[in-house]
Amino acid sequence: MRRFLLLASTLSLLFLSGTQAAQATAGSGTFHWEAGAGIVCSVEATACPDVARASNGDTFSLMAQGDLDTAKGASGGGTFEHRTAAGTLVATGTLTATGLLTFIPYGCGGGGFPPSLCGGRAALAVHLVAHPASNPTATVQADGILEVECLIGNPPGGAMEGIRLNVKDLINFNKSVIGDTLFIQTS
């Protein structure tokens, strides 16, 4: 609850002037998405980066943002770190959104939030370019699915704020650990 109140007070000034009112639900339209980056970082110390954990204890830390259009797709990206359960750096790199697989809206505004701030879950097709810590000049590329979930609105039971990343045929960071996300409706 503290996160929501801080977010609402911090962001309300930004969105009160010049922003179109969002629809009651965020089912269609265009959005700016943030995952451990952007304006959410000013809310609280644990907002950025977003961190997800795999079943072996490895963690994936992400700072990314971009845009999505529910009719056309998604773009954007950011930087990441992959660490072992013991905290040893495995790789650093970049993540780029290449498409929108699904977007499930949870609603916009309410609870003291400006009407342009929305919750939902987006599944984005992503491409990762990693540089292993053991050989920083080497490059490893992979594709995956990044889930970005924000709990504004009316999320279903069991929803978890944060990110999850399934890197195809390599590793699944399927537990959101810490960090904040946000969808800002732009039309």
pLDDT band at 110 (very low <50, low <70, confident <90, very high): confident
Select from 129, 137, 128 the least CA-distant residue to 165: 128
CB of 97 within 8 A of CB of 66? yes
78-103: pLDDT as tens digits: 999 999 999 999 999 999 999 999 99
**Spans of all domains in the chain:** 29-185
Q: Coil, strand or helix: which one is 9?
A: helix
Cα separation of 102 and 122, whole Å?
6
The whole-model pTM stands at 0.85
- Count the neighbouring beta carbons within 10 Å of the beta carbon of residue 55: 10
pLDDT at position 27 is 59
- Here the tokens at position 157 are 């039971």
Higher pLDDT, 26 or 59: 59
